[in-house]
Amino acid sequence: MSVSTKQTKSQKVPTWTFLSNHAHVLLCIARNPEITMKSISELVGITERAVQRIVADLVQQEYLRRDKEGRRNRYTISAQKPLRHPIEAHRNVDAILELVLSKKERAEMLESEENR
């Protein structure tokens, strides 16, 4: 059985995944707290406007904190916040980060947050 895919500039992206676009955006930010909306949109395979809406959702619900540094934004993830759906509400954001990020990426994220 094959999964159909759509083509992006850099890679093939499956038409469905186990994680939502909100999770994908959060993971991009975890890997690079200063990442641009354009870069996120290219990595996730969605429009910049969709990324902006997702980031606004995450900021509004306090899963992300946005700090202005000159003309750029720097994001901090609230890793202890619980996941939103009742099926996964017993886990927090950190569970997703730990599942997907490499040990090195996780350590860099934690170090970056400690330096804030």
DSSP string, 17-52: -SS-HHHHHHHHHHH-TT--HHHHHHHHTS-HHHHH
* Overall domain count for the chain: 1
| Cα angle 100-67-74, degrees, rounded to a multiple of 5 | 40
Q: Is 72 helix (H, G, I), strand (E, B) or coil?
A: strand
* Residue 2: predicted pLDDT: 40
96: domain range? 5-106
Residue 15 is assigned to a structural domain of this protein: yes
C-alpha distances in Å from residue 37, one per residue of 43, 52, 55, 67, 89: 10, 7, 9, 15, 28
* Residue 34: predicted pLDDT: 95
* Residue 1: predicted pLDDT: 41
Residue 116 is assigned to a structural domain of this protein: no
**Contacts of 52 by beta carbon, 8 Å cutoff, 6+ apart:** 37
Residue 115 is assigned to a structural domain of this protein: no
> Could you tell me which of 74, 71, 69, 63 has the C-alpha nearest to residue 32?
74
Give the distance, in angstroms, between the CA of residue 29 and the centroid of all CA atoms in the same chain.
Answer: 5
Residue 114 is assigned to a structural domain of this protein: no
- Under-50 pLDDT residues of the chain: 1-5
* Residue 11: predicted pLDDT: 66
CATH number at residue 77: 1.10.10.10
